[in-house]
A and B are shown apart, each in its own frame.
Chain A
């Protein structure tokens, strides 16, 4: 493993996290809701891949996308919409509850049938093999991740900037009240944002399951937590800032993980922060420092606060 290899791997993880960040950021933009249960959309898509083993990769992926979009729309209708005018803490705890509900429902699959936790996915499994380029030993899926990330982000940028529905979504995110006043249909933009975030969740699931073919009831959870942190650090008020934040935390996680593992101590009783196992602490400390210096977000212009949803 060289530095170049570590860098490329880090970009790969950053790309996946960026996809998740856009999914979370779109929903936050129009709904002002932080969906803690986003990880479960990834989980649902991953389980679809499990259930459609042998149906052909393309079909399996399409079904996963459909399932994630459907689940996302149901979440909006059942949970977000009734709670539209309540305090952000109530909504956050509600999404927590949804997250726990779905995680434990999935767990029933194993406890009810009394079998060990975990199913394996075979979709696109071939991409988990490595390509040898010169001295670099990189898995194909890393390139696919970067490519998919770039294409997906590019498509969404085009959608937001060049289409009417995209313009309406941006307007709703910037000033929802005024958007409705000029005729933007609230439910339409919300459904669009929710549906797109479902698609992104499915894409992330496909990439993640290639890298880790074991699907459990906690699939998607730790990624979502990290991306949520990254999005807040990047800046929630702007989709670009949020995406950069997601990318950054994925990149940092991967690259710092490599650095700590290779340069750090391997002793059992190593002092905190000096060994690879303390990677989360290093990341979290950096997060705290950034938040103290730039509480509105690293990539956001100073003095901008999230627009109030009236």
Chain B
């Protein structure tokens, strides 16, 4: 029994924290802030999806948000009721324009599209590492943003996609996040996950041991893409039921990447901690922009201070704890799962811009 708890702790810990977060928020938070806390839970899903690739492979990818975008827009578009769609989006391909699907199916579609897109992109790109991989994946983000913003046959283009049903409540957000966490955990405990982690530490040695680096990276990339797409589907169904391409581009890429690095890029626990932690700081500061009472003093921060504050917090964490808040450790165990020494990740300047 003890053994089972030990091995499952890295899963149960983050999962319980998310559930607790959701329960507390749903009971105590007022209606105005509701959205922000639900968004925080969805960001857990996005950051964990990010971690599945970056954390396990050690390859920095700036393109994962393009899968969130693709999944989100697809799910959003296909759930806009088909009676109003042709009116607001007349240029769409007929297949897209005249049909709509249920929320549940839209999430499946989002995951599927995210995965397929990642496969198409990943086959050529997974041969790259370091700086080249970073730039190439950034290019994918740029292409996705560009096409989504201008091709009105597949989406709203530069305008806001609205009239999306708001179906992501606390329950759905939490279940979605838990599903992503569970899959991420299962992957990193699986044979493929372990093989990929081996390539992270020493690609040459791993290859010599017979591990197919390209294939393992591709596998994680596709999984990450599917999970990101799914998270995009959750994202798009949050209030106010609309989405623009700017919301799934540079700002979100920076924010989610920073959440991951601040939490600790090498662990699932780090992804969850980073997402929730940074979200909380963000919410606190955003509320400060609307005026809050601190010990009887009314403080109103100017607009935009929340991003300043989040950046400062992130810099502070990085300067004080470069390994992230969790130092790359998983939840709970005194000994690391992988049989290495517990403790902060040793600083290791790698020859490439890897993680």
Q: Interface of A with B (CB < 8 Å)?
A: 32, 34, 79, 82-83, 85-90, 92-94, 96-98, 100-101, 104-105, 107-108, 111-112, 228-229, 232-233, 236, 268-269, 271-272, 275, 277-278, 280-281, 284-285, 287-288, 291-292, 295-296, 305-306, 308-310
Contact = CB atoms under 8 A, between A and B. Distances in A.
B319 A104 contact: no
Given A89-B353, A97-B314, A292-B127, A272 B136 contact: no
A96 B254 contact: yes
A85 B319 CA distance: 11
Contact of A88 (B147, B302, B314, B349): B349
Contact of B349 (A85, A232, A278, A296): A85
A90 B302 contact: no
10 closest A-B pairs by beta carbon, nearest first, are: A101-B311, A111-B303, A284-B139, A86-B322, A112-B302, A104-B307, A295-B132, A88-B353, A89-B355, A107-B304
B257 interface: yes
Given A268-B152, A284-B139, A100 B307 contact: yes
B1 interface: no
Given A83-B322, A269-B152, A108 B305 contact: yes
Given A87-B348, A97-B314, A269-B153, 5 more contacts: A87-B322, A87-B347, A89-B265, A111-B303, A112-B302
Interface in B115-165: 124-125, 127-129, 131-132, 134-136, 138-140, 142-143, 146-147, 150-153
Contact of A288 (B129, B139, B348, B349): B139
Interface of B: 60, 91, 124-125, 127-129, 131-132, 134-136, 138-140, 142-143, 146-147, 150-153, 254, 257-258, 261, 265, 302-305, 307-308, 310-312, 314-315, 318-319, 322, 347-355
21 contacts: A79-B319, A82-B319, A88-B350, A88-B352, A88-B353, A89-B265, A89-B355, A90-B261, A94-B318, A97-B314, A100-B310, A100-B311, A104-B308, A107-B307, A228-B135, A232-B134, A269-B151, A272-B150, A287-B139, A295-B132, A306-B352
Contacts of B143: 280-281, 284-285
B139 A285 contact: yes
Contacts of B127: 292
B322 A229 contact: no
A264 to B, nearest CB: 12
B312 A101 contact: yes
A107 B142 CA distance: 24
Contacts of A104: 304-305, 307-308, 311
A278 B258 CA distance: 29
B150 to A, nearest CB: 5
